[in-house]
Amino acid sequence: MSVTFIVGVDGSDASNRALAFAKRQASLVGEECKLMLVCVVEWSPYKFQTTEENAIRHKQKQEESDSAQKRVIDPLLEALKNDGINAEGRVIHGKAATILNNIAVENNAEQIFVARSTEQGLSARVFGSVTANLVMGSNVPVTVVS
Amino acid sequence: MISKLFTALTVSFFALFSSLVSASSIDETINSVFSSATGWFVSLIFSPLPGTSFPWIVLWLVVGASVFTLYFGFIQFRAIGHSISLVKGDYSNPNDAGEVSHFQALATALSGTVGLGNIAGVAVAVSIGGPGATFWMILAGLLGMASKFAECTLGVKYRNQFDDGRVSGGPMYYISKGFIERGLPAGFGKFLAALFAVFCIFGALGGGNMFQANQAHAQLSGVIGDYPGWITGIIFAVVVFAVIVGGIKSIANVTEKVVPFMGVLYVGTALVIILMNADKIGWAFGQIFEGAFTGLGVAGGMVGALIQGFKRAAFSNEAGVGSAAIAHSAVRTNEPITEGLVSLLEPFIDTVVICTMTALVIIITQQLVVDPTTGLYMLNESGTIQTADGSSGVALTSAAFASAFSWFPYILVVAVVLFAFSTMLSWSYYGLKAWTYLFGESKGAELTFKIIFCIFVFIGATISLGPVIDFSDAAIFAMAVVNIIGLYFLMPVVKKELNSYMTRLRAGEFKKFK
């Protein structure tokens, strides 16, 4: 039976520590364990935008996704592959806590791994109060890595 | 006709700036040149039906909105619940997050429509047409929901999606593409599309620009003391230039975030004033209903009230005008009809709710002077209703709010400036899309339009209200002439989409995610 661990990543040192911990747990489980790396680009459908921003939004979304894929997901997947860990990665827009939980439920994941906090910018958004929301609202166990 | 319009404007530009050099009063010179340059256009649009005083353009809008209401089976009433569900995101797939949501498209379009039309336009309507104009304004808002539904559905269905992911939509695209798809004369479609684009440019420069700058200046000078309009004009033009040419997004971002807050504050304050005068609410509605059918002494009686109500409603919510179709076309959806259903909320929020609030505050605070012996409204020499302090336009709304809260004019001046600015930004985009449709998508073409737009900000703040309102109205309504013709030809496309969508909705084909 395969085991799936969800790992919230954003390229920061803190999220790398969470991934390292998840990797150790995956190694303990064995070959049937798969890591699913999820990079969430924070996005609210209720954010106010100008007409011009709306007109180029689709293009922007693609750029954001491509950037996160190249900057965050691809290097991590490459490193995991070299270490012999079965892994896949996704970039998704939305609310981080909701997305991580939804993906965990959809994939029958055993656990979610996230960092406690990160230093700034997107990282702070994803792993700041988002972590607390995830811990309180998650349908699967959550491991918060300091 | 198109070349005549452009020639008139070009001539007015050169005449304007050559006169500036020697003019003793900049304001008066600009006013005089502008009035003479645009007068013929205004007369053409607002000429009355033969033998009556009823402008043909108002009938055009009423008939258009009524036809769409009947043709789509009163869609604005039977689908409003589903529209709200769509805005709430009940049917939005979380996997599509990151794209423009229905809520965002609606909010963006509303930021372009909710503005001075709701504050100054309503004041103009009730001071000319009396309280009865409010009734016709609400009716026009309700009927206009069907027009908005049709145009925004088509806006999404026939938008242009460029290779780099950008989106351009609006009447010029759906008229030209829709005519070809339906096997209608392609040349006629292209002609209508081009004509719409020309009028859209005028609308952007008139109602979307000069009217905003003009009324912002009126409010500013009313609160901080009288000063020349060209000072406001230069400041506004520089800020607009900084955003649309200089690309300083922070100004636009701040505006977009503050405007919704100001809107809520405005409606909230209006509600408080109405509740403070709860004993007069019944009387106010009595005046609205009685005035709607008798006029209560206003110039033109019932017809005068009706004309003003419909004119101001159309100017405020822009239903049938086609501008919203440009704003809504950016949303990502596989079902164009859903954007039409969302957009029909726009006239409701703009006109039925916000405009009615403004009108009620003006009526309830008794800004309009009534002859105590006859019970009819007293008119001044110009044929408008006498007001308590002689004010008109945005100053009348300001006086009405100030009668309850003396500090409100200071809030209102911030709201007016922000509303004006946000509307200008939206219309600069609409105008730009029309401009690039005509002259091609190039940096040079875009820059040319943006500079012209900034020049008109300056002109709008400088000239007096009369010529600005007349030209603003004429330009906006000219857009509606072409757009509604296009909608008549393309409404079967919308109906087909609607029937297909509703059948699938009833069959449970669309998953609810919330």
**Contact A50/B89, CB-based, under 8 Å?**
no
Greater model confidence, B447 or A132: B447
Domain range holding B177? Answer: 98-506
Residues of B in contact with A60 (CB under 8 A): 165
Asked if the structure places residue B90 within a domain, the reply is: no
* pLDDT for the residue numbered B430: 92
Round to whole Å and give the CA distance between B154 and B169: 9
Of A41, A61, A99, which has the smallest distance from its Cβ to B99's Cβ? A61
* pLDDT for the residue numbered A126: 52
**Contact B94/A94, CB-based, under 8 Å?**
yes
* pLDDT for the residue numbered B296: 77
| Strand A3-8 versus strand A33-42 pairing type | parallel
The CATH code of the domain at A3-145 is 3.40.50.620
* pLDDT for the residue numbered B76: 93
Total domain count for chain B? Answer: 1
* pLDDT for the residue numbered B275: 94
Interface test with B, best of A43, A50, A92 (most B CBs within 10 A): A50
Residues of A in contact with B334 (CB under 8 A): none
* pLDDT for the residue numbered B5: 47
Tens digits of pLDDT across chain B (514 residues):
444 544 554 445 445 444 444 444 666 777 777 778 888 888 888 888 888 777 888 889 889 999 999 999 999 999 999 999 999 989 888 777 888 888 888 888 888 888 878 888 899 899 988 999 999 999 999 999 999 999 999 999 999 888 777 788 999 999 999 999 999 999 999 999 999 999 999 889 888 888 888 888 888 887 788 888 889 999 999 988 988 888 777 777 777 777 788 888 899 999 999 999 999 999 999 999 998 988 776 777 788 888 889 888 887 888 999 999 998 888 878 899 999 999 999 999 999 999 999 999 999 999 998 888 888 888 888 788 888 888 888 889 999 999 999 988 888 888 888 888 888 888 999 999 999 999 988 888 999 999 999 999 998 888 776 676 677 778 888 999 999 999 999 999 999 999 999 999 999 998 888 7
Residue A118 CB neighbours (<10 A): 23
**Contact B165/A56, CB-based, under 8 Å?**
yes
User: HEC profile for A84-138?
Assistant: CCEEEEEEEEECHHHHHHHHHHHCCCCEEEEECCCCCHHHHHHHCHHHHHHHHHC
Which residues fall within 8 angstroms of residue B63, CB to CB, at 6 or more apart? Answer: none
Quote the tokens at residue B278: 């709860």
> Which B-chain residues 302-341 have CB contacts (< 8 A) with chain A?
326-327, 330-332
Asked if the structure places residue B92 within a domain, the reply is: no
* pLDDT for the residue numbered B194: 95
* pLDDT for the residue numbered B155: 95
For B323, name the nearest residue in chain A, comparing CA atoms only.
A51
Residues of A in contact with B92 (CB under 8 A): 45
User: Residues A23-58, buried b or exposed e (16+ Cβ, 10 A)?
Assistant: bebbeeeeeebbbbbbbbbbbebeebbbbbbbbbbb
Q: What is each CA distance from B434 to A57, B82, B205, B331, in whole angstroms?
A: 20, 32, 12, 19
Asked if the structure places residue B78 within a domain, the reply is: no
Residues of B in contact with A48 (CB under 8 A): 104, 107-108, 111, 256-257, 259-260
**Half-sphere exposure in the Cβ direction for B124 (13 Å, CA):** 24
Distance from CA of A64 to the nearest CA of B (A): 9
Q: Does B107 touch chain A (CB under 8 A)?
A: yes
Give the three-class secondary structure for B192: helix
CB B157 within 8 A of CB B394: no
pLDDT tens profile B45-60: 888 888 877 788 888 9
**Contact B98/A93, CB-based, under 8 Å?**
yes
**Contact A94/B101, CB-based, under 8 Å?**
no
For B251, name the nearest residue in chain A, comparing CA atoms only.
A50
Q: Does A55 touch chain B (CB under 8 A)?
A: yes
* pLDDT for the residue numbered A121: 55
* pLDDT for the residue numbered A142: 93
Residue B500 CB neighbours (<10 A): 12
| Strand A86-94 versus strand A33-42 pairing type | parallel
Would you say residue A101 has pLDDT above 50? Answer: yes
Residue written as tokens 């100053």? B395
**Contact B103/A45, CB-based, under 8 Å?**
yes
**Contact A51/B326, CB-based, under 8 Å?**
yes
Q: Does B92 touch chain A (CB under 8 A)?
A: yes
Whether ipTM > 0.85 holds is no
Domains of chain A: which residue ranges?
A: 3-145
Round to whole Å and give the CA distance between B282 and B360: 11
Q: Does A41 touch chain B (CB under 8 A)?
A: yes
**Contact B103/A57, CB-based, under 8 Å?**
no
As a whole number, the mean pLDDT across chain A is 86
Q: Does A67 touch chain B (CB under 8 A)?
A: no
Q: Does B261 touch chain A (CB under 8 A)?
A: no
Of B108, B161, B253, which has the smallest distance from its Cβ to A54's Cβ? B108
Greater model confidence, A59 or B83: B83
Q: Does B59 touch chain A (CB under 8 A)?
A: no
> Residue B224 corresponds to which amino acid?
I
For B433, name the nearest residue in chain A, comparing CA atoms only.
A52
> Sheet holding A3-8: strands in order across?
A86-94, A33-42, A3-8, A111-115, A142-145
CB B343 within 8 A of CB B152: yes
Asked if the structure places residue B69 within a domain, the reply is: no
Q: Does B374 touch chain A (CB under 8 A)?
A: no
* pLDDT for the residue numbered B17: 47
Q: For residue B339, what is the domain's CATH number? A: 1.20.1740.10
CB B380 within 8 A of CB B388: no
Q: Does B426 touch chain A (CB under 8 A)?
A: yes
For A98, name the nearest residue in chain B, comparing CA atoms only.
B94
* pLDDT for the residue numbered A117: 63
Q: Does A105 touch chain B (CB under 8 A)?
A: no
Give mean pLDDT, residues A21-36.
Answer: 90
